[in-house]
Amino acid sequence: MSKQWETNIQDADRVAAVVRSGLAGLTDDDAFDQLMELAIAVTGAPRGVIALVDAVYTTAISAVGFPEGLALFAPIEYSFCRYVVGYGQPFLVEDAPNDPRTIGDPAIEAFGAVAWIGFPIEDSRGNVLGNFCLMDPEPREWSTLDIQTVATLAKVTGTEIALRHERAAALAAREKLAEFELRSNS
């Protein structure tokens, strides 16, 4: 695969959008876990991750179906997430050890990612913050329903992130207004 993904991942605007999301460093959230559990229930995939990707790391804000103690962050090179984020488009693999795009990729061994499907999670400005992905330790042909489920839930995840960002901005504006009114009335 071309390494164009590296340039796109390093894009300053995209990385700033990840920081602005307010989720950098979050490693567990019930709302995101519920979305992932729904994806797993619908598709039958044994595990999945909702990940944010900065310039260096992939950080799971939800990881379902993994053994206890598995690190929720990894260098970009250890995750297929880099392809989704770097190219800004879905990435599907049915048999990673035998797929020319992923032969020898460290994500296969590190996360048991033999079959993998991921869709971009975008903010309201179109910046790719991360991805919503499912994986299977066995080769698998992803069905139309699987693809539609992951695509839809990636959009829902982006909407949830945008709503959280807007709520935080509204609360900050409300606090500033209250401070201004206090100073004006003194």
Whole-model pTM: value is 0.87
The strand pair at 115-122 and 128-136 is best described as: antiparallel
Could you tell me the two tokens for 24?
């950098």
List pLDDT tens digits, range 74-131: 888 888 888 999 899 999 999 999 999 999 988 888 888 899 999 999 988 899 999 9
Domains of the chain from N-terminus onward:
4-185 (3.30.450.40)
Helix (H) or strand (E) holding 121: strand 115-122
- For residue range 12-68, list pLDDT tens digits in order: 998 988 888 877 666 667 899 999 999 999 999 999 999 999 888 888 889 999 877
